[in-house]
Structure 1
Amino acid sequence: MMLNDRKLKILQAVIHSYITSAEPVGSRTIAKKYNLGVSSATIRNEMSDLEELGYLLQPHTSAGRIPSDKAYRLYVDNLMQIRKITEEERRKIKLSLLKEIREIEQVIQNAAKILSELTNCTSLAIAPQIKRSKLKRIQLIPIDEHKVLVVMVTDTGIVKNTVFRIENGVREEQLEKITNYLNSRLKGCSIEDISKNIDTEFVKDMYDLRDTIKDILPLINQSIDGMYEVDLFADGVTNIFNFPEYNDIARAKSFISFIENKESVVDMLLKSGFHDIEIIIGRENCYEEVSNCSLITATYSLNGKTIGKIGVIGPTRMDYSKVVSVVKSIAFDLNEILNYFIL
């Protein structure tokens, strides 16, 4: 059923009031706070209709009503006007993202931090999916006779540092020769194809170093395997306590436990899609632990490829207008900075 203009205005007023106060909203509150040109009795009747249509809920302990997930969905899709962020907020975003730009992970971590600060919600970000990233260079650096640092750098700015022990020992000049050979063979290969290119030909081509090569190749494969793990950044997890809905300690603990479960959070972020902006409300999320929350995410790209996601999660009563604006702004600046400094 399509809602008429009056019902839409009343529903929007209820949502605005509840987002601001966290208190169930009654018809008298709407009549006093919003100049809708109708009586409290008319508003009460319209709110009753909205409840029957599934847009409003009435908590058992209150005469007022609160928006349902259905109401929030209508609001963000059709009624919400995205609030512009302030110049001070924009400046803060830029300064934060420019703090550390040597490695892409640090840029993402900074973005998550500023996102939680500006929205007062918990921010989440997943670092680039790197299977299709290409190897820019590999470096084998001796630490001592038996320890080697393997440094792998991709074209998406990811740097993987791993220290390995070689029981038989290795000399610096040997590592330099192997490094040069590996770069000549592997540079430009996608990460997922490197293992396929590390074969017996390596041993044949560098027969004089065959014993060392046999020790080192498995270590490189281990380093590659470690790169496949998705990095998750979360910031402002305890911000959840700022919302009255989470004064219930058991409820807050359930939320925090979920956020600390990396596998579930990554799965949730990946399932939410890879659109420019995505809003998942309440029970639209498949995880029961966050069925009273909304997730707002945006993607970020490098060289035209979507490589990760960043966003916030918080109660369905969040200030969608502001949060969407901040998420969009950070994603935009993140894309700009990554493509300017990393490429």
Structure 2
Amino acid sequence: MGLNIRKQQVLEAIVESHIVTAEPVSSRSIARKYRLGVSPATIRNEMSDLEELGLILQPHTSAGRIPSQPGYRYYVDRLMKKSKLTLREEKIVRAIFAQRAKALANIIQRTIKTVSQLTDYLVLLSGPQLENAALKKIKAIPLTPQKALVVIVTETGWLESKMVDLPSGMTTADLAHIENVLNTYFRGLTFPQISRTILHNVYDELIKQRRVLDRIMEIVEAVLQEDADETVYLGGAQNIIKQPEYSDIAEVRNLMSIIEEEEILRAILKKTDPNVVTVRIGREINYDPAAGYSVVSAVYSIGGNAVGTIGLMGPMRMDYARAVAVVEYITEILSEVLSKDTFY
């Protein structure tokens, strides 16, 4: 849809004014605030054309206009100016993430808290997906002459521990040898990357410990092929309900019903393009109760492998430029932190 420069200026003014005020925008307020060099009457004519094109709407009997879903889409795709966090904000974010974390859960909590402080929207974060998890280390810890604790740690921070029975005569040195061989061959690999050749070499080296090795391999496979859906973590609900849209209790109830549907939130995040920040507006979310919302999301990675998604969900009147800037920067920092050996 091609618009001339003046129509683009009027649409941009309506979107940006409505984002700030949550009120319908009049031709007079545009003429006064944006100094487009034309009269309110000329602006009204442009608004009429934009309304015919379906880019703006006239709510109720108000003299002002608000953007429609296609109007927001046009703004995001063609008119929105790129935004960045301030240097002070970037410094604060880096300082928060520079603190050493003892577990992945700390990183997730830190991320949600940080993003909640930077925006007034709902924060959605899907935990690292195990299907892409690579092994970080395997520990075999002797507990008694008959039992050992096997601990599997993945690069996404997932930790699994299981007891194994030891055959008679197995020594601490034998367990250490098993641990060293497995870490030598498996470190950095996901389970699908562990080929038959690698397994054959491992079994050749550990032929005398075959029974214990079989049990350890069962544990490794169970961890790396874990089929449970990743958890979706939430934050910032107290921020979003401060928005004018949620002065209506019905809207609050609708928001709460969406938040309670983790499967829906998971599906929303999974639609994120792995290569760019994704902006979905209104019905583009493909979930009727969320038709009045927008979602800005991006994928974060560990060592170049996409492992999870972070998103902001807010009213369709959200500040898209700010939301994109926050998601873009936090994704970059989170990927950087997780790709380092900073926890466990």
Q: Same fold (TM over 0.5)?
A: yes
Secondary structure (helix, strand or coil) at the match of 1:322 reads helix
Partner of 1:237: 237
Determine helix, strand or coil for the equivalent of 1:242.
coil
Q: Secondary structure at the match of 1:3?
A: coil
2:305 counterpart of 1:305: yes
The CA deviation at 1:150 is 4.0
Alpha-carbon RMSD across the aligned residues, in angstroms, is 3.4
Give a deviation string over 1:103-140, Cα, whole Å, max 9, x none: 45533442232112101111122233342433232123
Cα distance in 2 between the residues matched to 1:234 and 1:220: 30
Matched position secondary structure for 1:24:
coil
Q: Which deviates more from structure 2 when the two are superposed, residues 79-88 or residues 9-18?
A: 79-88
Q: Say whether the 8 Å CA contact 1:152–1:159 is kept in structure 2.
A: no
Which amino acid is the alignment partner of residue 2 of structure 2? M
Q: What is the rounded CA distance, in whole Å, between the counterparts of 2:152 and 2:61 in structure 1?
A: 59
Equivalent of 1:160, from 158, 164, 168?
A: 158
Tell me the residue number matched to 1:37.
Answer: 37
Contact between 1:293 and 1:315, CA under 8 Å: does it hold in 2? yes
Alignment gaps of 5+ in structure 1? none
In structure 2, the CA distance between the partners of 1:121 and 1:182, relative to structure 1 (3 Å rule), is same
2:90 counterpart SS class? helix
TM-score by length of 1: 0.83
Deviation, 1:158, is: 2.1
Q: Is the 8 A contact 2:131 2:224 kept in 1?
A: no
Greater shift, 17-26 or 292-301, is seen at: 292-301
Number of corresponding residues? 339
Shift of residue 61, structure 1, vs aligned partner? 5.1
Contact 2:128–2:230 at 8 Å: present in 1 too? yes
* Aligned-partner Cα distance in 2 for 1:97–1:298: 18
C-alpha contact 1:153 1:159 (8 A) present in aligned 2: yes
Deviation at 1:160, TM superposition (A): 2.8
**Residues 299 and 307 in structure 2, CA contact (< 8 A), matched pair in contact too:** yes
Identity of aligned residues (%): 38
Deviation digits for residues 40-81 of structure 1 (CA, Å, limit 9, x no counterpart): 222222212111110111222533211011111111111111
Cα distance in 2 for residues equivalent to 1:192 and 1:260: 34
TM-score normalised by length of structure 2? 0.82
| Superposition map of 1:176-187 within 5 A | 179-180=179-180, 182-183=182-183, 186-187=186-187
Identify unmatched segments of 5+ residues in structure 2: none
In structure 2, relative to structure 1, the CA distance for the partners of 1:175 and 1:62 (3 Å cut) is farther
Opposite residue 336 of structure 1, the aligned amino acid is E
- Judge conservation of contact 2:277–2:297 (CA < 8 Å) in 1: yes
| Distance across 2 between alignment mates of 1:83 and 1:92 | 17
TM superposition shift of 1:39: 2.0
SS of 1:273 mapped into structure 2? coil
- What pairs up with 1:283-302 in 2 under 5 angstroms? 283-302=283-302
Contact 2:55 2:69 in 1 (8 A): yes
Structure 1 residues 225, 332: closer, same or farther in 2, change over 3 A? Answer: closer
